[in-house]
Structure 1
Amino acid sequence: MRLTKCLLLPLIALSMAACQSESQPEKPEAEAAEQKEPNEQKASDEKAEKDVESVLASQEMLKVPENDRDLINQPPGKIGGMDISLGDTPQIKEAFFEAFGDVPALPEDATEKELELYFNYIYSLVAYDFQDPQDVLDQMEFALSGTPEADPRFAFKENYNVEIILDASGSMANYVGDQTRMELAKKAIRDFVGQIPEEAKVSLRIYGHEGTGSEADKAASCKAIDEVYKRGAYDQASFDKAMDAFKPAGWTPVAGALESAKESFKGLDAKSNTNLVYLVSDGIETCDGDPVAVAKTFADSDISPIINVIGFNVDGETQQQLKEVAAAANGIFANVSNGAELAEEFKQSKEVLARWESWKVNSETDVLAASNASSLAISKFENQWYADTDGQYLGLVRVFGFLREKGYLTFDQVDDLTVKAGEIEQISKESREAIINDLNQVKDQGLDKMRIQIDEKYKENTTGQ
Structure 2
Amino acid sequence: MKIFKSILVSALLLFLLSACSNDSAKESNETEDKSTPGNEQTVKKERKEKAVNGNIKVEPLPTTYEELAKLPVGEHYNMEVSGDDDVENILKVFSDLPDVSGKPTKKQLDYFYRELLKRMQQDYEGPENLINRLKFEALGSPENTDSRYQFKDNLNVVFIIDASGSMAQKINGKEKMASAKDSILNFVNKLPKDAKVGIRVYGHKGTGSDADKALSCSSSELVYPISNYNEGEFQAALNKFSPSGWTPIGLALREAKNDLASFDGANNTNIVYLVSDGIDTCEDQPIEAAKDLYSSNISPIINVIGFDVDNEGQNQLREIASATEGIYGTVTNEGELQKELDNLSNLVEQWKEWLEQGKQQLDYKKVNNELDIFTYITREEVKKTNEKVKVELILYRLHNANRFNDEAYEYLNKINNEYHQWIQEEVDQFEKELKALNEASYSEAIKALEDKYISNTQ
Report the CA distance between 1:226 and its aligned residue.
1.8
Secondary structure of 2:367's aligned partner: helix
State how far apart, in whole Å, the 2-side matches of 1:125 and 1:175 are: 26
1:269 maps onto 2:264 in alignment: yes
Q: Equivalent of 1:371, from 359, 367, 372?
A: 367
Tell me the residue number matched to 1:78.
75
Structure-1 separation of matches of 2:365 and 2:81: 36
Which residues in structure 2 correspond to 1:228-267 (within 5 Å)?
A: 228-234=223-229, 239=234, 242-243=237-238, 245-267=240-262
Judge conservation of contact 2:153–2:268 (CA < 8 Å) in 1: yes
**Pairing 1:279–2:268 present:** no
C-alpha offsets along residues 282-313 of structure 1, whole Å, 9 cap, x if unaligned? 44433342333333332343322111123446
Match of 1:226 in 2: 221
Per-residue CA distance 1:16-53 (angstroms, 9 max, x = gap): xxxxxxxxxxxxxxxxxxxxxx9999878855674163
- The offset of 1:446, in angstroms, is 4.1
With over 3 angstroms needed to count, the CA separation of the structure-2 counterparts of 1:141 and 1:114, relative to structure 1, is: same
**What amino acid is the match of 2:114?**
N
Are the equivalent residues in 2 in contact too, given 1:258–1:295 (CA < 8 A)?
yes
Instruction: Judge conservation of contact 1:105–1:407 (CA < 8 Å) in 2.
Output: no
Q: Specify whether residues 256 and 103 from structure 1 end up closer, same or farther in structure 2 by C-alpha distance, changes over 3 A only.
A: same
39 and 83 in structure 1: CA distance in 2 versus 1, 3 angstrom threshold = closer
2:304 aligned residue: 309
Q: Which amino acid is 1:253 matched to?
A: P
> Residue 100 of structure 1 contacts residue 125 of structure 1 at CA under 8 Å; is this kept in 2?
no
Which residue identity lines up with residue 79 of structure 1 in the other structure? H
Who is 2:447 aligned against?
448
- Cα 1:259–1:108 change in 2 (3 A) is same
Matches within 5 A, 1:167-246: 167-173=162-168, 182=177, 185-186=180-181, 188-234=183-229, 239=234, 242-243=237-238, 245-246=240-241
CA contact (8 A) 2:317 2:328 kept: no
Q: CA deviation at 1:375?
A: 3.7
Equivalences for residues 6-25 of structure 1 within 5 A: none
Return the offset for 1:68. Answer: 3.0
Tell me: CA distance 1:54–1:109, structure 2 relative to 1, closer, same or farther (3 Å). Answer: closer
Are 1:347 and 2:346 an aligned pair?
no
Q: Which moved more, 1:304-313 or 1:235-244?
A: 235-244
Q: Hey, what does 1:139 align to over in structure 2?
A: 133
In the alignment, the residues of structure 2 paired with residue 261 and residue 401 of structure 1 have an alpha-carbon distance, to the nearest angstrom, of 51
Using the TM superposition, give the Cα deviation of residue 357 of structure 1 relative to its aligned residue in structure 2, in angstroms: 1.9
Aligned-residue CA RMSD in angstroms?
4.0
The alpha carbon displacement at 1:419 in A equals 3.7
Instruction: Flag the 1:294–1:113 CA change in 2: closer, same or farther, 3 A.
Output: closer
Matched residue of 1:162: which SS? Answer: strand
State the TM-score, normalized to the length of structure 1.
0.74
What is the DSSP-based 3-state SS (H/G/I as helix, E as strand, rest coil) of the residue aligned with 2:115?
A: helix
99, 106, 115: which is aligned to 1:112? 106
Instruction: Give the CA deviation at 1:207.
Output: 0.8
Q: Distance in 1 between matches of 2:50 and 2:267?
A: 63
Normalised TM-score (structure 2): 0.75
Counterpart position of 1:334: 328
Change (3 A) 1:61 1:76: farther
Cα deviation, 1:118-153, whole Å, max 9, x if unaligned, reads 221111001111112112221122222111122212
1:53 paired with 2:50, answer yes
Distance in 1 between the 2:182 and 2:84 partners? 28
Relative distance call for 1:367 and 1:122 in structure 2 (3 A) is farther
Structure-2 separation of matches of 1:47 and 1:98? 12
The whole-number CA distance in structure 2 between the counterparts of 1:244 and 1:88 is 46
Q: Tell me if structure 1 keeps the 8 A contact 2:277–2:308.
A: yes
Contact residue 51 and residue 108 of structure 2 kept, 8 A: no
| SS of residue in 1 equivalent to 2:327 | strand
CA distance in 2, matches of 1:88, 1:196: 51
Q: Closer, same or farther in 2 for the Cα pair 1:175/1:389, shift >3 Å?
A: farther
2:58, 2:111 within 8 Å by CA — same for their partners in 1? no
Equivalent position to 1:164, from 146, 154, 159:
159
Per-residue CA deviation, residues 388-408 of structure 1 (Å, 9 max, x unaligned), is 122222332343455457664
* Secondary structure, aligned partner of 1:437: helix
Residue 377 of structure 2 corresponds to residue 382 of structure 1: yes
Separation in structure 2 between the aligned mates of residue 261 and residue 419 of structure 1, nearest angstrom: 51
Change (3 A) 1:57 1:67: farther
Checking the alignment, whether the CA contact within 8 Å between 2:202 and 2:221 is kept in structure 1 is: yes
**Is the contact between residue 40 and residue 406 of structure 1 (CA under 8 Å) also seen in structure 2?**
no
* Partner Cα separation in structure 2 for residue 397 and residue 178 of structure 1: 34
Equivalent of residue 358 in structure 1, options 353, 356, 364 = 353
Whichever of the two has the greater Rg, that structure is 1
Once the two structures are TM-superposed, the CA of residue 164 in structure 1 deviates from its matched residue by 0.9
Q: Matches of 1:172 and 1:99 in 2, distance apart?
A: 27
Judge conservation of contact 2:97–2:116 (CA < 8 Å) in 1. no
Provide the rounded CA distance (Å) in 2 between the counterparts of 1:426 and 1:331: 30
The answer to whether structure 1 residue 149 and structure 2 residue 143 are counterparts is yes
**Post-superposition offset of 1:170:** 3.4
1:145–1:154 CA contact under 8 A, matched in 2 = yes
In the TM superposition, residue 257 of structure 1 has moved relative to its aligned partner by 0.5
What is the CA-CA distance between 1:387 and the residue it aligns to?
2.0
Q: Which runs of 5+ in 2 are unaligned?
A: 1-34
Partner SS, residue 148 of structure 1 = coil
- Please name the residue that 1:10 is paired with: none
CA distance in 2, matches of 1:246, 1:89: 42
Structure 1 contact 389–429 (Cα < 8 Å) conserved: yes
Distance 1:180 1:86 in 2: 30
Q: Which of 71-80 and 219-228 deviates more?
A: 71-80
Partner of 1:426: 421
Measure how far apart 1:276 and its partner are: 0.8
| Aligned with 2:457 (options 456, 459, 463) | 459
Whole-angstrom CA distance in 2 between matches of 1:88 and 1:370:
51
Name the SS of the counterpart of 2:297 in structure 1.
coil
Tell me the percent identity: 30
> Aligned residue for 1:11?
none
